[in-house]
Amino acid sequence: MRGAPAGERPAATASEPLLSLHDLLHILRRRAPTIALVVAVVTLPSFAVGVLRGPQYTATASVLIEPNLPAGGATSPLPAIIDTQADILKSRTLVRRTMQELALYDHPDYRVEPGDMAPRFAWLTSTPPADPAAPEESPEQAAQAAEERTHDFAAEKLAEDLKVSNAGDSYVLTVSFRARDPDLAAAVANALATAYLDRQVTEKREAARRSVEWLSGQLAAQREDVLATERELAELRAKHLFVVDKAVARSEGGVLLQDLDRAAAVKRSSYDSLLTRLYEAETRLDTVAADARIISRAESPTKPSSPSPFLFAAVGFTASGVLGVLAGLMREALDRRLRTADRAEALLGLPCLAVVPAVREVPLHRLVRQSPQAPTAQAVRSVAVRLLAADPPPVAVAVTTTAADPGAAALAAALACVPDGGRTVLVDLDLATPRLAALLDLKTAAEGDAATVQRDAMPGVDVLCVPTAHPAPLTDAGLRALMADLRQRYDRVLVAAPAASETADACLVARNVDAVVFAERPAGAPVDRTAAAAAALAAAGGRVLGIVLLEGRP
């Protein structure tokens, strides 16, 4: 079976899941440091915010609105009336009056520091030029304006903790205030509700006072008019005495007298009406009352209404856990390394011959020879079996890596230790960094000497190592002759080849052997480099059979 061309990905079947639960759990375990970092970065500040914020207490007062609706009017609460009264309760005028009464301008929570009102992005704005025609502001006016701005800013800070709400089916407004001091929370809620009632009383008393003043002026003018009419009527009666008979009554003087008498009666009636209205207005001025009342005063709360720091931490932990998982999955998606066998096959289009688990105690070739039933030895054996199952089965096999790595020499030596009933030779053709001699504790030829085959360096395995410093580069003709000679003398030729992406020798080796196998580590070279190296070897005439993951997971 020949390997798939480099870069070609196998088609996924419709029933094959894109990411199984098993794979997801392994991804999360591999990305645990990233997830832990995100969780720590979000959770710890969340807990710190909860601690620094401290407990918050909310006190609530209830105000019943009693609007003067016309008889037969709407019985259900009118949203416009409720919303208007709620806006009045939250108005800056009432807030500032409350702060003035409770002396909150000097309270630590609402005291305005010099830098609090400084614009955060002053460099983005430009100050408009002063109007030369405007009068110059005196120091007293400037100080008063600065104090007004300070008080407005403090009122805005207090209003952030104020909430006025309505259930929607009643005339009851709920005034809630939140503060770190429970007594202050109750005091502000009650003071604000009281200020709201006082404002209504003040406005209604002012309206009644203006009505009394107007009626008093109208009454005085009407009294003068009545008196003038009475004097004119008296003079006319004295002139004509009284009407004795119908003839006199029909005279010009009698008609004038009757008209004036009727006018006087009308003016007296109007005067009496104004006098009645003035009395009623003066009565209202003395008995004015608000169109609302406090039905429940706020009491100092005993339990905080704000969440505890641990709840802040729990929310932060939950949110950061989700963000951490997303960050881990994103890093996994952006990671172009060969982490798993499925990933290697999907990204490279090459079959994964085996995944060799990590081994730390002994060298890989020694483990294969001493413990052939170990999982690691069985993984190496499966590579040898896959090579024998190829069509045609290769005799000379080169093991290479994308970047310089001892994994190629280690896998080649381990494959040589898998018995196949014939003679095996292990050849080190990595002239830049020869590793087989040191790996197998063999002596190498001195510089300038020819490489010689060391017989039975391992049981049933001969080894051909290059000199420590080889002055002559590999040639295509030399490799062809060497491989032809080794194929005649041995049943299996295993070559530790140079790194595929770093030297041109790897292409020469690939075209003169029967098959090439990549030995890669999960955290090794990026997949793009591995794919490019496999494509280069295939273009040079090499036959890339697959990839072996060293120290990876199945």
pLDDT tens digits, 290-336:
788 899 999 988 888 767 777 777 888 888 888 888 888 887 777 76
Give pTM, 2 decimals. Answer: 0.52
Q: What is the pLDDT of residues 499-524, one digit of tens each?
A: 988 778 899 999 999 999 999 887 76
Q: Name the percent of the chain in helix, strand, coil, to the closest 5.
A: 50, 15, 35
Distance separating alpha carbons of residues 338 and 552, to the nearest angstrom: 9
487 exposure class (CB count in 10 Å sphere: 0-12, 13-18, 19+)? middle
Q: What is the pLDDT of residues 358-391, one digit of tens each?
A: 777 788 888 888 888 999 999 999 999 999 999 8
Taking domain 341-550, whether its CATH number is 3.40.50.300 is answered by yes
Helix axes 309-334 and 32-53, enclosed angle (nearest 10): 160
Say whether pLDDT at 77 is over 70. no
140 C-beta neighbours (distance < 10 Å), count: 8
Tallying the residues shown for the chain, one arrives at 554
**Per-residue confidence (pLDDT) for residue 455, from 0 to 100:** 83
Tokens encoding 299: 């009491």
**Per-residue confidence (pLDDT) for residue 382, from 0 to 100:** 93
Mean pLDDT in residue range 87-95: 89
Longest dimension (CA), the chain: 172
**Neighbouring-strand partners of residue 553:** 340
Q: Regarding beta strands 453-458 and 515-520, do their DSSP bridges make them parallel or antiparallel, or are they unpaired?
A: unpaired
Give residue 431's pLDDT band: very low, low, confident or very high (50, 70, 90).
Answer: confident
**Neighbouring-strand partners of residue 548:** 354, 519
State the alpha helices, DSSP H only, in 287-393: 309-334, 341-348, 364-370, 375-388
Distance separating alpha carbons of residues 245 and 250, to the nearest angstrom: 9
Say whether pLDDT at 47 is over 80. no
Distance separating alpha carbons of residues 68 and 289, to the nearest angstrom: 12
145 C-beta neighbours (distance < 10 Å), count: 11
Do residues 178 and 148 make contact, with C-beta atoms less than 8 angstroms apart?
no
Average per-residue pLDDT for the chain: 80
Tell me the domain boundaries of the chain.
23-54+307-334, 58-67+77-116+141-296, 341-550
SS3 119: coil
Distance separating alpha carbons of residues 254 and 190, to the nearest angstrom: 72
Do residues 517 and 489 make contact, with C-beta atoms less than 8 angstroms apart?
no
**Per-residue confidence (pLDDT) for residue 74, from 0 to 100:** 53
Give residue 12's pLDDT band: very low, low, confident or very high (50, 70, 90).
Answer: very low
Say whether pLDDT at 259 is over 70. yes
DSSP for 422-491? S-EEEEE--SSS--HHHHHT---PPTTSPP-EEEEEETTEEEE---SS--SPP-HHHHHHHHHHHHHH-S
Do residues 488 and 516 make contact, with C-beta atoms less than 8 angstroms apart?
no
Do residues 285 and 208 make contact, with C-beta atoms less than 8 angstroms apart?
yes
Give residue 118's pLDDT band: very low, low, confident or very high (50, 70, 90).
Answer: low
Helix axes 182-240 and 79-89, enclosed angle (nearest 10): 110
Say whether pLDDT at 426 is over 90. yes
User: Which residue, among 313, 428, 300, 431, has the nearest Cα to 47 in the 3D structure?
Assistant: 313
Angle (nearest 5°) at CA 139 between 135 and 141: 65
Q: Which residues of 343-353 are buried (b: 16+ CB within 10 A; e: fewer)?
A: bbbebbbbbbb
